[in-house]
Structure 1
């Protein structure tokens, strides 16, 4: 069975774009996955960015994609101790809907309690996404520092 994945990740600067592109490629290589929805690739260019129509289309499209997802992959590399608020919202929404969340965090350091506790798996190497078993979503707990 192939799973549908929603990829939650910031993509506002070169470092974040590089990271999310590497995650997208790793997910594409995983044989247990079918469709991968990456909001970065669904920007509703038919509307003026950040205009009223764009806001509605982006929000509704992302919520629909999360609702259709079997699993979420969330990139939570912080800037200081601040995670991207959009990613945090997507993570919380998925957790509330009992959708497994696979966290990817390349940077070292503590994890916020509200992400460290409900996550299904904690991954620090993007390449591990190529072989992660999304059919069974094995648990990989976060055992580091929580804030």
Structure 2
């Protein structure tokens, strides 16, 4: 049975946007994946900072509905792929890791930065199921069974 994936990660810098784009493309190639929910593609009424004809971005209605959409998507997902940028950590992504962990969803954490030179917070490190060091690995990773492996990078 193919898995439903929640794809978490910031898209606010060129590096983050590239990670999301590359990860989405790799996941689409993976035969163990049936559906990919990428939050940036599901903003309430299609509103973004750059596309906001009604002036909703940042307002209560937009924030509430976008948040609820993401929570529902995390609840429905079988597991998550989390993209992490050590140089520009995204607090929304950190929240998603905590929520997904509390829901007992496996989390495949992807970070292409040097894990030994860039420590991450212990709450994040202990909340992930498996860590990959290249987005390219997502194209062939077996999502049918994600075995827990300890995070091997530096932790603070």
Give the number of the structure whose alpha-carbon radius of gyration is greater. 2
Unaligned runs of 5+ in 2: 48-53
Match of 1:119 in 2: 128
Query: TM-score by structure 1 length?
Result: 0.93
In the alignment, is residue 93 of structure 1 matched against residue 81 of structure 2?
A: no
Secondary structure at the counterpart of residue 152 of structure 2: coil
Query: TM-score by structure 2 length?
Result: 0.88
Whole-angstrom distance in 1 between the partners of 2:112 and 2:84 = 9
**1:114-145 CA deviation, whole Å, 9 max, x = no partner?**
11112111001111011111111133432121
Whole-angstrom distance in 2 between the partners of 1:87 and 1:141 = 20
Tell me, yes or no, if the aligned pair for 1:72 and 1:94 is still in contact at 8 Å. Answer: yes
Match of 1:74 in 2: 82
Whole-angstrom distance in 2 between the partners of 1:90 and 1:118 = 11
From 68, 72, 82, the equivalent of 1:64 is: 72
Whole-angstrom distance in 2 between the partners of 1:15 and 1:134 = 25
Tell me, yes or no, if the aligned pair for 1:6 and 1:36 is still in contact at 8 Å. Answer: yes
Whole-angstrom distance in 2 between the partners of 1:18 and 1:128 = 15
Whole-angstrom distance in 2 between the partners of 1:4 and 1:31 = 12
The count of aligned residue pairs is 145
Tell me, yes or no, if the aligned pair for 2:97 and 2:127 is still in contact at 8 Å. Answer: no
**Root-mean-square deviation (Å):** 1.4
**1:52-95 CA deviation, whole Å, 9 max, x = no partner?**
2111110000000000010011112122xx62110000000000
TM superposition outliers: structure 1 runs of 4+ over 4 Å: none
Match of 1:141 in 2: 150
